[in-house]
Structure 1
Amino acid sequence: MTSARLLTAAEASFLSDAAEEWLRLRDVEFNLGELALKVLRAATLRPIDCRRQDIASVNWTIDAQFPGTDAPVAITLVSPAAADIKRGRVSILSAIGLALIGHAIGAVVPLPLASGEIVDARLVTLRPCRALGFLKLDQKACHVQ
């Protein structure tokens, strides 16, 4: 499994702000702040002029191949305000979003399922989500509930 992460400065800042808020919560059974910190520790910031199109980023759709399935599953990483699981839009501040963000095509990523099980998924293709355009992350929208 590959743990290398390549994040934009905006993505890293957004995750950092969320992690700080989460880590201030006490006495919670599962704190995503710890997972966000793990992502940030493993991440490398992409140069501002980086034009790579093979890295899972905000407003990009990832086709993930799960073991035992014929067709990949499309997952679009979005800001928390745009999340809509029925449309395959997953917040980067969710456990699945944190697992995917910053990985490149070909990476095998352990994804948490609702059942509590973890399944390895291979990232097979990436493409910008045309419906979302290139929306920027809104730092003010990063309020963890």
Structure 2
Amino acid sequence: MLFIKRPIFNAIIAHAKTDYPLEACGLLAGTQNIAQAQYVVENIRRSPFAYEMDPLQQVRAFIDIEQKGWELLAIYHSHPKGPEFPSETDIEQAYYPETIYLIISLANYEMPVVRGYRINAGQITEVSIVVQ
């Protein structure tokens, strides 16, 4: 289960909408499964169908997370036109099995859907998301 504070939840949806029609991506960090911070990371692929995080921004976020004593809780990205389920590419590139993957679907732009998954060796398990 992942707990996300309402302002952070709203911020990831706003990020997805700002980057629309391209995929947006970023990180959530915190402790005890409570997301306390969002890290917006540029999608250097600039694609509506895939994302690749800017490596320098990603490393800077990891350093900040470590310095604050937090842990990486979630990696998020948007599916501008697609469903809120991991794509084949998402599954193949899930390199952090202990981390939750959040997908923000903007298939219905006015009613975004956010779902979370753990992806380990191709196995997908949905994780409950609680917005506080």
Superposition TM-score, scaled by structure 2 size: 0.28
